[in-house]
A and B are shown apart, each in its own frame.
Chain A
Amino acid sequence: MIVAEQKPLDELRQMLAPYDRLLILGCGTCVTVCFAGGEKEVAVLASALRMAEAIDGRGKAIAELTIHRQCEPEFVAELREKVGDAEAVLSLGCGVGVQAVAEALPGVRVLPGLNTKFMGQTVEPGQWKELCAACGNCVLDLTGGICPIARCSKSLLNGPCGGSEDGRCEIAPDVQCAWQLIYDRLTQLGLVHLMEEIIPAKDWSTARDGGPRRVVREDLAKLSQ
């Protein structure tokens, strides 16, 4: 899933200062699961903003709404009626959600309430970690199902650098060395010989480096015509 974190309240208040009528818009998918932008977080943020505004003696009309998925046109379409007279929409969706909502509402200011962090999974309640960097050319078959591009601090492809110690990465004691994990797993699977192979320079053109990406499936495009 996509993992995100709410922006600090002060930053949001500054961003929202010019607008008197707001809609805080939650998303029912990834950001609900990571407790950043679901229905509950929308309610909590709305009341925090109302309280802050009340203390400052100003008034803002703050409406709340959570839709099923901000990233799907069919769910976003309903917003055109529901946005009402809001001058600004504060999206608690990921960066995809913010942009999809902005596209659907050309006349409305759409602002990001979250910082989108990464694609990852829950480690334990309250903790998430990055697992995939969407490089567009998966190498997990070579690396025991553990991604060195997302999980090695230097995205190395040929084993741990000289900063790997006791399973930890040189950048911080709480960061695991991805290549130690790969080594352990391949050893367990009896496949450590895979680490003897030199993985040549990567073709990064399938990653963001190749420019904005788009997936086209002709077969599906034809079906919908």
Chain B
Amino acid sequence: MRAGSNLEKMLESGQFAVTAELGPPKGTNQRVVERKAEVLRQCCDAVNVTDNQTAIVRMSSLSVSILLKRMGLEPVMQITCRDRNRLAIQADVLGAVGFGIQNMLCLSGDHQKFGNHPTAKNVFDLDSIQLIQTLAGMRDRKKFAGGDDISGEAPLFVGAAANPFADPFEFRVIRLGKKVRAGANFIQTQPVFDVDRFKRWMDLVRKRELEQQTHILAGVTPIKSAGMARYMRDNVAGVGIPDSIVSRIEQAKDVKEEGIQIALEIIEQLKQIPGVHGIHIMAVGWEDIVPVIAEKAGLLPRPVV
């Protein structure tokens, strides 16, 4: 055990894990977080807290992670390289550990061009792989990136993202291998819509035996509307949503019901793929649906480890 978090125990026990994403509010009201957290409390093993996702300023991932911890939920604090340099990130990690936060997810971060401050200067002092190395070094060598000793322990369960739907396809598994060697203990993938491509990626993952060195959680995003499906297909790079799914949504009488149905079908297929250790549900702006999906997918109640 590296950190002994609930998520780590769940994955180490070999049971199928469930994580879900919580997007902090564009404002100061902690009630918004509390409401979303109550929805997610019983249906997942840990809750990812996004870090200014899509480069839109929101309540910070550190503060919301602390709030979740106080409510008795287990956070996965997301950290992007876009907004903070190695000093600021390590400072946040020290503080987070102090508050009992153990799971952290290392990300590059969406470019600020997409967000609500497109004229901002970005940082990218570290990239996501160097960030994994930094966190693993803080835990294992008890040293900062700059080489100084850290006083105290940093028991972290370090995660990273993977996108099997971005290009070049053959490099995607090489990149995963680099993340694993850098120290990624778990991986959460971008949402899977094209299951065939995901299977091909997992074949390459198993060829390199990476699924034995890290825990892979496959991403799932329920589609809420035809507009959302088309937008993701046409405007979001590296999502790869097949036309067949877009037309199913477009032709559905009850769009939301169809979105849930598609998510359940995808989860069913993901469960069958060797090396997939869990799912990560990213119900962007639709957190209320997560318990429904977890229930219908037969993933409730969550086991106690």
Contacts and interface: CB of A to CB of B under 8 A. Distances in A.
Contacts of A177: 167
Interface string A130-172: 0000000000000000000000011111111111111111111
B108 A161 contact: yes
Most buried by B among A157, A160, A161: A161
Contacts of A189: none
Interface in A5-24: none
Contacts of A215: none
Contact of A158 (B113, B161, B175): B175
A195 B125 contact: no
Interface stretch (A84-92, A94-102, A107-115, A197-205): A197-205
A116 to B, nearest CB: 17
Contacts of B113: 153, 171-172
Contacts of B108: 154, 156, 161-162
Most buried by A among B109, B125, B127, B134: B127
Contacts of A196: 174, 177-178
Contacts of B128: 156, 158, 161
A179 B128 CA distance: 15
B111 A170 contact: yes
Which bucket holds chain B's interface residue count? Answer: 35 or more
B124 A159 contact: no
B178 A160 contact: no
B110 A183 contact: no
B47 interface: no
Interface in A164-190: 164-172, 177, 179-180, 183-184
17 contacts: A153-B113, A154-B82, A154-B111, A158-B130, A159-B175, A160-B171, A161-B108, A162-B190, A164-B168, A165-B167, A165-B237, A168-B237, A169-B237, A180-B167, A195-B171, A198-B133, A201-B86
Given A165-B166, A177-B167, A195-B174, 10 more contacts: A154-B124, A154-B127, A159-B175, A160-B168, A162-B165, A163-B110, A170-B110, A201-B126, A201-B130, A204-B125
